């Protein structure tokens, strides 16, 4: 059996030799306790994809991944877990099985970034030097920014969230226990990962309420801080028709600020009238929490004012430090944050970082490609795919704005395989090539 990624937990080994840097520009830090040609921070979707790609190029001993967690979750499956279609263990793999075998896994948190000294300090006090750094730290869930919410999670099993491993397992039981009343689904006032997920679970729940014969006694409410149901006009029009047909009440510009668990009351600020609060009674509350980049990153020297790693949105190279790149949810590329975006970014990052390592010109450009499989029921899905300009960039030569069972099958059965077997192994750069093949001679990519 292949040896899994070498684990260097709390190790203080000093590796100052062992590889020859091909770069003259970015030489390894002399002060660090360990040095690598490439350090990747984060072993999620983007970190695994990048580490896999570069360990093949640079060889064993030259790539390290700093990642604290023992378990890697396929987060896009969380919607299906909340809907009772998959289990949490279906979405989980040991971290050591998904990190590439030939990289060094430093099992700790990155707590300090020194982009001038070219080193990262970990929570266990190690200084890890690098020639090149890729930051792939994802987003932090800030449940504690909503007054009373952490307590409400403990108090009431009808308060749930698909976004967290600890609470996603409670969603389906809460839907099944719901006997009528108000079922409220929220969308916060910050950038989030998978902007479709807050409403996907609402559609699955609403369908189950009908099946369980509780729908006639209930109000299904989507309270969103946004001013639209979805950021791309074509898909927003489809979703608008669905919420109307299914009698779902959508309240725009409503931001959850407090949960009074004992009273089962949720307090929302009306963003059109700042300071004005509205109280909703609930019998089921699904919360999408406010999010930010992780604290250690947000307070570092490599982020913009909003706390995201400041990259050129086309090359994914840091705007101030040319030997730093960033992939995925934690970077400043202004697109919808998804694993699909990570896939497309990984190909661009691979080409551009390789060019920088070889002293060549960067040639790849990220167009903002992202995708959101908007599950609307058990068996139906609208596959939204779009770019930086919020223009559809569809892969298949059919109208993807329609609910389709083929797209549901793709989401539930094909995408997980693509994720584990291709993306994390560094072999999936998104569907760009297939889009061109499938649409050969057809011109359009689904633009309205």
Ligand X SMILES: Cc1cc2nc3c(=O)[nH]c(=O)nc-3n(C[C@H](O)[C@H](O)[C@H](O)COP(=O)(O)OP(=O)(O)OC[C@H]3O[C@@H](n4cnc5c(N)ncnc54)[C@H](O)[C@@H]3O)c2cc1C
Contact residues: ligand X, CB under 6 A: 41-47, 66-69, 75-76, 78-79, 109-110, 136-138, 162-163, 193-194, 197, 294, 296, 328-330, 337-340, 342, 371, 373
Contact present, 128 and 64 (Cβ < 8 Å): yes
CB of 188 to ligand X, least distance (A): 13
Alpha-carbon Rg of the chain, whole angstroms?
Answer: 22
* CB nearer ligand X, residue 191 or residue 264: 191
b/e per residue, 134-170, with b = 16+ CB within 10 A?
A: bbbbbbbbebebbebbeebbeebebbbbbbbeebbbb
CB of 37 to ligand X, least distance (A): 19
* CB nearer ligand X, residue 162 or residue 352: 162
How far is the C-alpha of 65 from the C-alpha of 48, rounded, in Å? Answer: 8
CB of 329 to ligand X, least distance (A): 4
* CB nearer ligand X, residue 255 or residue 326: 326
Going by C-alpha positions, the residue among 183, 162, 153, 394 that lies closest to residue 259 is 153
* CB nearer ligand X, residue 79 or residue 332: 79
Name the packing angle between helices 339-357 and 45-58 (round to 10°): 30
CA angle, 156 then 78 then 434, to 5°: 160
* CB nearer ligand X, residue 78 or residue 308: 78
CB of 85 to ligand X, least distance (A): 13
CB of 41 to ligand X, least distance (A): 5
Q: List active site positions.
A: 194, 372
Select the residue whose beta carbon is closest to ligand X and give its number: 44
Does the CA dihedral 414-415-420-423 come out positive or negative? Answer: positive
* CB nearer ligand X, residue 193 or residue 404: 193
CB of 364 to ligand X, least distance (A): 18
* CB nearer ligand X, residue 200 or residue 351: 200
Write the DSSP assignment of 120-145 as a string of letters.
EEETTS-EEEEEEEEE----EE-GGG
b/e per residue, 213-226, with b = 16+ CB within 10 A?
A: ebbeebbbbbbbbb
Tell me the C-alpha to C-alpha distance, in Å, between residue 312 and each of 106, 293, 308, 368: 28, 18, 12, 12
* CB nearer ligand X, residue 221 or residue 349: 349
CB of 384 to ligand X, least distance (A): 10
CB of 162 to ligand X, least distance (A): 4
Write the DSSP assignment of 244-286 as a string of letters.
HHTT-EEESSEEEEEEETTTTEEEEEETTSTT-EEEEE-SEEE
User: Could you tell me which residues are beta bridge partners of residue 281?
Assistant: 265
Q: Which two tokens stand for residue 317?
A: 């190279």
How far is the C-alpha of 426 from the C-alpha of 56, rounded, in Å? Answer: 9
For tokens 């062992």, the residue is: 18
How far is the C-alpha of 172 from the C-alpha of 282, rounded, in Å? Answer: 16
How far is the C-alpha of 287 from the C-alpha of 305, rounded, in Å? Answer: 26
Q: Which two tokens stand for residue 235?
A: 């898909």
């Amino acid at each position: 059996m292949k040896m899994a990624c070498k684990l260097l937990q709390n190790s203080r080994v000093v590796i100052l030799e062992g590889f020859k840097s091909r770069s003259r520009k970015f030489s390894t830090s002399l002060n660090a306790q360990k040095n690598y040609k490439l350090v990747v921070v984060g072993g999620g979707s983007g970190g695994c994809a990048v580490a896999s790609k570069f360990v093949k190029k640079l060889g064993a001993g030259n790539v390290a991944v700093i990642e604290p967690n023992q378990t890697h979750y396929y987060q896009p499956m969380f919607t299906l877990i909340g809907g009772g279609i998959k289990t949490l263990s279906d979405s989980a793999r040991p971290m050591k099985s998904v990190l590439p075998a030939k990289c060094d896994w430093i099992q700790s948190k990155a707590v300090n970034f020194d982009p001038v000294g070219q080193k990262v300090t970990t929570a266990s006090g190690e200084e890890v030097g690098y020639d090149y750094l890729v930051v792939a730290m994802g987003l932090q869930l800030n449940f504690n920014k909503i007054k009373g919410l952490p307590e409400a999670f403990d108090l009431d099993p009808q308060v749930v969230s698909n976004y967290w491993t600890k609470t996603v397992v409670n969603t389906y039981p809460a839907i099944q226990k719901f006997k009528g009343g108000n079922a409220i689904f929220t969308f916060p006032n910050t950038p989030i990962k998978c902007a479709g997920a807050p409403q996907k679970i609402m559609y699955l729940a609403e369908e189950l309420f009908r099946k369980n014969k509780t729908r006639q006694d209930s109000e299904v409410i989507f309270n969103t801080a946004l001013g639209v149901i979805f950021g791309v006009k074509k898909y927003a029009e489809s979703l608008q028709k669905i919420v109307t047909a299914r009698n779902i009440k959508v309240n725009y510009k409503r931001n959850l600020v407090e949960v009074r668990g004992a009273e089962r009351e949720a307090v929302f600020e009306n963003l059109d009238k700042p300071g004005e609060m509205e109280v909703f009674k609930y019998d089921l509350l699904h919360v999408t929490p406010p999010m930010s980049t992780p604290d250690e990153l947000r307070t570092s020297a490599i982020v913009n004012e909003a706390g995201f790693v400041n990259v050129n949105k086309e090359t994914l190279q840091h705007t101030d430090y040319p030997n730093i790149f960033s992939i995925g949810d934690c970077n400043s590329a202004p697109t919808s944050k998804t694993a699909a975006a990570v896939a497309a970014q990984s190909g661009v990052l691979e080409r551009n970082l390789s060019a920088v390592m070889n002293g060549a010109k960067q040639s790849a450009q990220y167009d903002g490609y992202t995708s959101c499989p908007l599950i609307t029921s058990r068996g139906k899905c609208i596959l939204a795919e779009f770019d930086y300009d919020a223009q559809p960039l569809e892969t298949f030569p059919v109208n993807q704005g329609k609910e389709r069972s083929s797209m549901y099958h793709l989401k539930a059965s094909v995408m997980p395989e693509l994720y584990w077997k291709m993306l994390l192994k560094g072999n999936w750069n998104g569907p760009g090539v297939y889009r061109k093949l499938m649409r050969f001679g057809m011109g359009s990519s689904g633009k309205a």
